Amino acid sequence: MVLLSLTASHHELDLDALERLSTGSMSVGRTVVGTCRPVQGTVVISTCNRFELYLDVDAPLDGDTVRHATRHVAELVAASSGVTADVAADSFTVRTGTEVAEHLFAVAAGLDSMVVGEREIAGQVKRALAESRADGTTSKTLELLFQTASRTSKQVGRSTTLGAAGRSLVSVGLDLAGESLRPYPVARAVIIGTGAYAGASVAALRARGCDDVRVYSQSGRAADFAASHAIGAVGQDQESLVEALGDADLVVSCSGARGRRPGAAADTVPGAEASLAYVLDAASVARARDRAAARAGDEPESDALVILDLALHRDVDPSVADVEGVLLYDLASLTTHAPATERAVVDQARAMVQGAASRFEETRLGRAADAAVIALLDEAEREVAVRVDDALARLAGELVPHGQVPTDTDRDEVARSVRRRVHAALHDRIVAVRATALAEARAAEAAVVAGAERSLRAVRVAD
C-alpha cells in the first residue's frame, strides 16, 4: 500500500484559482474510489484555503498503478470543477511516504493555515474523516493517518503556545472590523450561514461583548441554529436579509453556498443554478444602505457597514465594495492582517509534528521490518535449540560419573540461560535489521511514486 496526497492550498495558488479547483470537490472522493480500482480509500479536505485529497493506493513496485491513479484523479477533479485537466494537474503538489503524514499533521496543528496556529482546522480535519466514513471511502490506513493527525494536533495545543491566543480567520476579521465599527457591546451583527465558522463567529462576537446577533440561511437552517446558539433569526427570503442588513453594523458571511452542489452538507441553496449565485449582491447591499440612511434621518451619515466574507467561494459579490459606506474584507485581505507567530513556537510545534510523522511511518512501514525481525528471531530460536542440546549433552556427561541425569528443572534452567544469552547478543542485530528493512521499504515506496508527479504534470486530455 502507498499513501499519496494531492494538495492545493493558498501557498501554491491564489484564492481565485483555489476556488475554481475546489468547486464540486465533495463528490471527488466517492468517484475516485468507485472508478479507480487501485485506490482503496480517500479522504478529501476542502476548506476556505485548501483542497486536498489523501489516497490509499494498492500499488505494485513498478509505480504504474500510482501514476495511473494520479492521472485519473486529475481528470476527475477537472471534470467536477470545470477547469481543464492541465490546470488541475498543475495545481497539485504530490506527496508520498513521510511527507504525507508530516504535511497532514502540520495542517491539523494549524501550521499551514493562513493564520498560523488557528484551531478551527483541527475540527475540519476530523470532519473530513467523518464525511469519508459516511461515504464509505476511508480505509484502515487513512483512519490511522487522520486519527494520529488529530492526536498530534491536540498534543501541539497542549505542549506549545501555538494557538493559545485563539487566533483564527474569524478573530482576525473581527479585530479588523472593530477598527471601523462602533464598540462591540452596542454593535449589531448578522451572520450568513450556519456551519462551523458561523458557530465560531457567534462565540467570538460574544467574547467581544456583542449580544445583538442574528443569523440568515438560504437553506432554512437559521431557526434551528438561532435556537441552539440563543441568537435571533432572519427570515429565509432575500427581502428579510435586506431588512436585517439595513439595521446592521457588521455582516459575517460564511455559508459557502456558492461553491456547493445541491444536497452537499453545507448551507446550500436548492438548485444548481442558485448555488452559483452570490449570497449577497451589490443591489441588495445598496438597498440596505438606503434603508440605513433613511433610519439615520437628520444625522450627517449612517454608520459604515463592515462585511467579512470568510467563504472561499465568495458569498459576497466583490462589487459590494463599491457601495458607498461599505467596507468589504475577503479572505485575501484578511490574510495580510494575520498576526505573526514567534519563530521559536513554530519551530517547537514543527519538531513535534516531524516526530509524530516519523513514528507514524515506522508503524505503517513496520510490516516489512517486522517480517525481517521475525525471520531473525526464528533463526535465533533454531540457534537456541542447537545450543540447548549441546549444553544438555555436556551436563549429562558431567553427571554420568555420579550416576545422575539432567532433571526437568536442569533442562528448563539451561534453556532459559541459553535463550537469554542468544537474545542479548541478538539485540543489536534486530535494531540493525529493522532499520535496514525500514530504509528499504521507504526506498521502494519512493521508487513507486517517483514518476507520479511527472505523470501528473504531463496529464493531457483532449477537448
Q: Which residue has the higher pLDDT, 250 or 69?
A: 250
The reply, when asked if residue 48 is annotated as ligand binding, is yes
Residue with cell string 533454531: 382
Instruction: Give residue-wise pLDDT tens across range 122-157.
Output: 888 999 999 999 999 999 989 999 999 999 999 998
Residue 171 confidence class, pLDDT cut points 50, 70, 90: confident
The CATH number of the domain holding residue 253 is 3.40.50.720
241: buried, middle or exposed (CB in 10 Å: 19+, 13-18, 0-12)? buried
Instruction: Sort strands 305-309 and 188-192 into parallel, antiparallel or unpaired.
Output: unpaired
Give the domain range for residue 398: 361-447
Q: Which residue has the higher pLDDT, 98 or 383?
A: 383
Residues 234 and 289 reside in one and the same domain:
yes
Q: Is the pLDDT of residue 110 over 70?
A: yes
Angle at 19 between CA 139 and CA 259, to 5 degrees: 80
Element containing residue 232 per DSSP (H, E)? strand 232-233
Q: Rounded to the nearest 5°, which phi and psi values hold at 254?
A: -150, 40
Instruction: Sort strands 50-57 and 39-47 into parallel, antiparallel or unpaired.
Output: antiparallel
Residues 37 and 125 reside in one and the same domain:
yes
Whole-number mean pLDDT of the chain?
A: 81
Tell me whether residue 383 is in a domain.
yes
Considering 36, 48, 210, 254, which one is annotated as catalytic? 48
Tell me whether residue 346 is in a domain.
no
62: buried, middle or exposed (CB in 10 Å: 19+, 13-18, 0-12)? exposed
The reply, when asked if residue 193 is annotated as ligand binding, is yes
Instruction: Give residue-wise pLDDT tens across range 202-254.
Output: 999 999 999 999 999 988 889 999 999 999 999 988 899 999 999 999 999 98
Q: Which residue has the higher pLDDT, 435 or 350?
A: 350
pLDDT at 216: 95
Residue 84 confidence class, pLDDT cut points 50, 70, 90: confident
Residues 126 and 25 reside in one and the same domain:
yes
Residues 211 and 276 reside in one and the same domain:
yes
Residues 329 and 432 reside in one and the same domain:
no
Instruction: Give the mean model confidence (pLDDT) for residues 180-189.
Output: 93
DSSP per-residue codes, 35-97: H-TTEEEEEEEEETTEEEEEEEE---TTSHHHHHHHHHHHHHHHHHHSS-HHHHHHHPEEEET
Tell me whether residue 298 is in a domain.
yes
48 part of the active site:
yes
Last residue of a domain, one of 277, 303, 336: 336
Q: Residues with Cβ < 8 Å from 353, sequence gap 6 or more?
A: 102, 105, 106, 109, 111, 152, 156
The reply, when asked if residue 118 is annotated as ligand binding, is yes
The reply, when asked if residue 197 is annotated as ligand binding, is yes
Would you call 406 helix, strand, or coil by DSSP? coil
